[in-house]
Structure formats: C-alpha cells, structure tokens
Amino acid sequence: MFLVYVIGLFVLYKLIDRLVRIPMIGRYADRYILITGCDTGFGNLLAKRLDQLGCHVFAGCFSEKGEKDLKKVSSERLHAFSLDVSNTESIQKALAFVKSKLPEEKGLWGIVNNAGIVCSIGPPEWIRLEDYKLHCDVNLWGVINTTLEFLPLIKKQKGRVVNIASIAGLTTFADFAPYCISKHGVEVFTDSIRRRLRPFGCKAILIEPGVHKTAIVGEDRLISMARKTFDKANPDVKEEYGEIYANYMSSKDALHGLLSNGSERISDVIDAYEHALLGCFPRARYLIGWDAVYMYMPIQYLPEWLGDWIYELTDKSRPLPASVSK
C-alpha cells in the first residue's frame, strides 16, 4: 500500500510540474534576445522562430554567407551580424552593436550561447593539443566570455542566460574527448552563475540535447574528420594504432552506435530553447532526446566497470590497436 502512495505522489508531482510550466511570459515585442551561432542548425532555427513570435533578435553569425542568408528570410526585428565567439575583440564589437540597437534604458531579456564546434574524433592521444584548445576556445571560453561581456545588460532587464551544453557534458564519449571536456565546463559555469545570479532576479538555464541529426554530426563529415585526426596524430601514435584501426574509425561502423540512436526531431531542441527564454517558470536544465534520457544518463549512474562494459558491448566490431593485437 505504501508503494501505491509513493507512486501516486510521484505521478501527482509530475502532473503539477507539467501544468506549472505551461504559462508563457507574453509581451514578446518587448523582448530583446542575443543568439550566437546562427549560421545553421539550432541557432538558425531559433532565431527564425523568435523572429516569427515577435521578439527582437540579435543573431550572431560566424560567416558572411550565414549572415546574408538569415537576413533574407527574416523581418526587420532580426539583426544578423558578424560574431566570432573565440575572439574577444569580436565579442566587444558585438556588444557595442547590440547597445546601439537597444532602446534607451532597455537591457537584454536573453543571451543564448549556442555557438559550438566538433572538429576532432578519435582516441584522446590522436588529438593534438591545439585541437583541444580550439574546442574550448569556442565551446567553453566563448560561452564564458560572451556571458561576462553581456551580463550587465541581462542584469538590467532581470533576464536569462541560456547555454547549450550536451549529454556529452554529463557523460563521456571516448572518441570525442575535446568536445566532452568543453561541454562539461559549460555545465559547471552555468550551475555557478545560476546560483549567483538569483539575487539579481536573473536565471541561467542549461539545454542538454542528446544526439540530434544536424550538420555538426553529419555522417560524411565525421568520417572525414576521423581520418584527418589520425593523419595529424604523432607518428608513434599512428604506428601504435595502425591502419586497420584508422580505417575502422573512418567508417560508418564506428559511428553506427552513436548516430543510429540520434533523433531527427530538431524541433524538440528549439521548443526547449523557446520555453527556457519565454516560459514563466523555466526549468534549470532541459535534457532532450530519448537517447539522453533513457540510455546515456542511466549508464552514467552505473558503476564505472559496468558502464564501460555496456559501451564496449555496443562497439564490438572495434579492432584492437596494432601494438596490442601483435
């Protein structure tokens, strides 16, 4: 009987939790929101969504093409501009641009740190230090730098900082070490500012998608990236692993486990972004995708030996490094 009560209370809690999240803040025409990484993917779709809702959007784009393409399909409420989040001078120019467009005495309702990269795949020792640094320059230092520069405008409006992390910030994919490192850092930074911004009436929110089939994880792109990573590796490391291992890493077999569980429901991530920015009672974190919720997170709570065994079980076709198989 006690178990029935516990289950009933849990179901009631989840129902109330869902109902509480329904109301939205409204008055979208008064909301000024900055988004980074709007060339393609999540950032591009979010910028268009918020523009359609009536928000004023500052859309940072890395490429001139991305900037021009976004301007073509947007209203006058959307301001697309050049932004490289790995460059402090570029961020400061963006700050000046945003200030020049904001009405007097108005701050930012939201910053969405969406820009991110994946540019190396393979065992950690394949990857050069400069590639570890490059991931962090964009995915972590870029998030921190942009947030700190724009934070006074957020405090002015009692607004929200929304950072995209990943399931890779909660668990570890062994062949994506630099990406995981950067996303773990985003988790820590966002948890920290969430607690310290509370007295100012501001919120900091994490978006944690599982694998979603956007351009950043395109199969052909990742296969090519794996081969380039191996080719740049230290000669001793290349000899240690050998061509058979390298050929496997740059094949569809190596990516099957990751991508086969990926979701094509990109709109789920955009919906989470929208609610984080415009919901009356946003969550502190949004874990998105069945793979993140029902596979990777449960594995993370298992003993390490068991979690490692499960990951190895899903990758049984991986060959041994050449030096081990001799």
Query: Which backbone phi and psi does 279 adopt, to 5 degrees?
Result: -75, 145
For the record, the structure tokens of 154 come out as 């957020």
Cα-Cα-Cα-Cα dihedral sign, residues 59, 118, 142, 96: negative
Give the C-alpha separation, 136 to 24, whole Å.
34
Contact 275, 282 (CB under 8 A): yes
The C-alpha R_g of the chain, in whole angstroms, comes to 21
Task: List Cα–Cα distances, 97 to 80, 92, 239, 321, in angstroms.
Answer: 11, 9, 51, 52
Residues 6+ apart with CB under 8 A from 253: 317
Out of 28, 179, 241, 273, which one is annotated catalytic?
179
User: Parallel, antiparallel, or unpaired: how do β-strands 56-61 and 78-82 relate?
Assistant: parallel
User: Active-site residue 179, yes or no?
Assistant: yes
Supply the residues annotated as catalytic.
Answer: 179
